[in-house]
Structure 1
Amino acid sequence: MNEKFYFLPIEKQQRIINAGFRVFSQNTYKKSPMQEIADEAGISKSLLFHYFHNKKELYLFLWEKAADITIEYLTRNHCYECRDLFEMMERGMYAKIQIMCQYPDISAFAMKAFYEKDPAVCEDIQRSYRKYFNRKAADALAGLDPEDFIPGLDLAMMHRQIYLMSVGYLWEISQQGEVLEAKTLEADFSEMLAFWKNVYLRKES
């Protein structure tokens, strides 16, 4: 990657990033044309190749960028400081809602990339995902007290289920192709959060 990309105005960087998220989220890796990304970003194809030497380089940059953006917003919302799982999930979902309002296609791209089977990028994506998810899961599980949850509950399995349901919800929303309303997303997630608490937390006697 050409480091000159980072010398571009932030607004122009974001336009290129969002264009990549959108085009790659709508097609397989192989069928995503660099020309379409350049057109959506409002730059020439040759200039896009000036910043990213090939399609694979841009694709993997966007994958890592999606992770970096997520970590940035989670940190900003103090998610990593929480010891309570559901407060962490709540802060995390609000952070992701903020991200989606800024980067509308980021969730759809991340999901598409995760399931991408093209050998040019598949192994790199899966290796990166395992490292990121395992670290995130370990952080979330470290402070949990089994006494807070229903007897015999597999906390790691519970965390994975909630994580996958959250990702699925964001995927479903991103596929609707409508302008995202933060208040609607927050209300939906609050309802899901209340359901999870009712299912997993130990009832007071």
Structure 2
Amino acid sequence: MISKFLSLETEKRERMLNAAMKEFAEKGFAHASTNEIVKEANISKGLLFHYFRNKKDLFLFLYDYVLELLMNELVEKMDVTEKDLVNRLRQWAQLKMDLIKKHPDMFQFILAAQREEAPEVKHELERKNKDIIAKGYAVLFEDIDTSRFKEGIDIQRAIQMMIWTLEGFSAQEQQKVKSLSLRPDYYDEVLAETEKYLDLFTTCFYR
């Protein structure tokens, strides 16, 4: 069924996905209405359930679809010729912010999904998040040059500290953000704060 859905004409497919993203982002999984989704998409309910067995299938497909699209775009734009880890992290942060600005509706949906507590989907989302994080790190840390690290530094532990720090900072910001309708300079402030952590990594771990 999913392959048939993906073969739909682009305009109709995008209408359905955008309507579902909007409904799930605004109301969460439990309160989202397939009636509202088909109304917004201007399609019949029968057509929606021709491709998706139920609301859960639609929600989880949409989460996979959006995550894959964003991750592929991010990876495509990564300059993998940059071997320095801190510069890779700097590039990753900038690209992520660029994607948020380019696809605010998608990130609004992702943000809502990551806060989702509905038991029908919560464990599936947690598993999917682990998978996508692992995929991202595989790209981020592939073939990096560790020669700039200070002698005697446990490089793997230093990298783990970097990960924990940036993940903690990201989680802290996500707790603050209830909506992506933010003042324009918010993203610049987040990047500036990220830069401070990157500078600290350079001071602590590099020659």
For the aligned pair, the TM-score class normalised by the smaller chain equals 0.7 to 0.9
How big is the shift at 1:171?
7.4
> Aligned residue for 2:99?
99
1:147 and 2:155 aligned: no
Partner AA of 1:103 in structure 2 = H
Determine helix, strand or coil for the equivalent of 1:201: helix
**CA-CA distance at 1:118 after TM superposition:** 2.2
Q: Which residue does 1:192 correspond to in 2?
A: 193
1:163 correspondence with 2:167: yes
Q: Is the 8 A contact 1:94 1:186 kept in 2?
A: no
The superposition leaves residues 151-172 of structure 1 with CA deviations (integer Å, 9 ceiling, x where unpaired) of 6774213213313434654775
How far apart are the structure 1 equivalents of 2:96 and 2:54?
29
SS of 1:4 mapped into structure 2: helix
Mapped to 2, the partners of 1:133 and 1:88 lie a distance apart of: 16
One-letter identity of the residue aligned with 1:156: Q
Partner of 2:128: 128
What TM-score do the two structures reach when normalised by structure 1?
A: 0.76
Aligned-partner residue type, residue 51 of structure 2: Y
Give the deviation of 1:175 after TM superposition: 0.5
Of 57-66 and 3-12, the range deviating more from structure 2: 3-12
1:79 deviates by: 5.2
Of 47-56 and 184-193, more deviation after overlay is shown by 184-193
Aligned residues: percent identity? 23
Deviations 1:89-108 (A, max 9, x none): 34334433443345322223
Cα gap change, 1:141 to 1:185, in 2 (>3 Å): same
Q: Does structure 2 conserve the Cα–Cα contact (< 8 Å) formed by 1:107 and 1:174?
A: no
Cα distance in 2 for residues equivalent to 1:171 and 1:45: 35
What RMSD in Å do the two structures reach over aligned CA positions? 3.4
Cα distance in 2 for residues equivalent to 1:28 and 1:133: 23
Return closer, same or farther for 1:30/1:94 CA change in 2, 3 Å cut-off: same
CA distance in 1, matches of 2:60, 2:66: 10
- How many residue pairs were aligned? 202
Cα 1:62/1:155, change in 2 over 3 Å? same
What is the Cα deviation at residue 199 of structure 1? 2.3
Q: Distance in 1 between matches of 2:199 and 2:52?
A: 48
Cα pair 1:60 1:121 within 8 Å, conserved: yes
Letter in 2 for 1:8: L
Distance 2:11 2:101 in 1: 15
* 1:111 aligned partner, one-letter code: L
Q: Which has the larger radius of gyration?
A: 2
Partners in 2 of 1:86 and 1:165 — Cα distance?
A: 16
Q: Which letter maps to 2:12?
A: K
Q: Which amino acid aligns with 2:162?
A: M
Structure 1 unaligned regions, length at least 5: none
For residues 111 and 144 of structure 1, what CA distance do their matches in structure 2 show?
Answer: 33
What TM-score does the superposition give when structure 2 sets the normalisation length?
Answer: 0.76
CA 1:54–1:90: 2 relative to 1, 3 Å: same
> Would the alpha carbon gap of residues 138 and 37 (structure 1) be closer, same or farther in structure 2, given more than 3 Å must change?
same
Q: Counterpart of 1:30 in 2: which secondary structure?
A: helix
Correspondences of 1:22-171 after superposition (within 5 Å): 22-78=22-78, 82-141=82-141, 143=144, 145=146, 147=149, 154-166=158-170, 169=173
Distance in 1, matches of 2:187 and 2:127, equals 32
Gaps of 5+ in 2: none
